[in-house]
Amino acid sequence: MTQANMRGNVRVISPKTSVIDIQGDVTIAAESAMMEAFTTAGTPTTRTIILNFTGLDYMNSSGIGLLVTLLIRANRQKQRVMAYGLSEHYRHIFELTRLNEAITIYDSEAAALDAA
């Protein structure tokens, strides 16, 4: 089994908004860490979860699959998912996979928080 090279630090900004700071690689090996961070971020009052990708080193198709799983969980809990800090490469991948239609991408944390 591959060891996870991802950490997800959760910051609760307000009762309705949490940020997950993603550090490292988002691959299938990150599933446990990603789901744990999402669960911690999603308090009963949380309506918006913002993914901070500024610390992202690498993401593959399995990582995209994890994001889809997070989206499904968020939708079931009536939460929305936003993101910022994506490199041009990963922005392009979000566009190709149409993930940008489900996860709104912002240029900065401040812009995402304003939209939240």
> Which of 62, 48, 72 is closest to 97 using CA atoms?
62
What pLDDT, in 10s, does the model give residues 6-43? 999 999 999 999 999 999 999 999 999 999 999 999 98
Which residue segments constitute the domains of the chain, with CATH numbers given? 6-115 (3.30.750.24)
Please report the pLDDT score of residue 5 as a whole number. Answer: 84
DSSP-derived 3-state class of residue 55? strand
Please report the pLDDT score of residue 4 as a whole number. Answer: 59
> Which of 51, 37, 44, 47 is closest to 17 using CA atoms?
47
Q: Measure Cα distances from 99 to 35, 90, 95 in Å.
A: 18, 11, 6
Cα(36)–Cα(89) distance, integer angstroms:
26
pLDDT at residue 73 greater than cutoff 90: yes
Please report the pLDDT score of residue 1 as a whole number. Answer: 40
Q: Per the structure block, which two tokens stand in for 77?
A: 């809990």
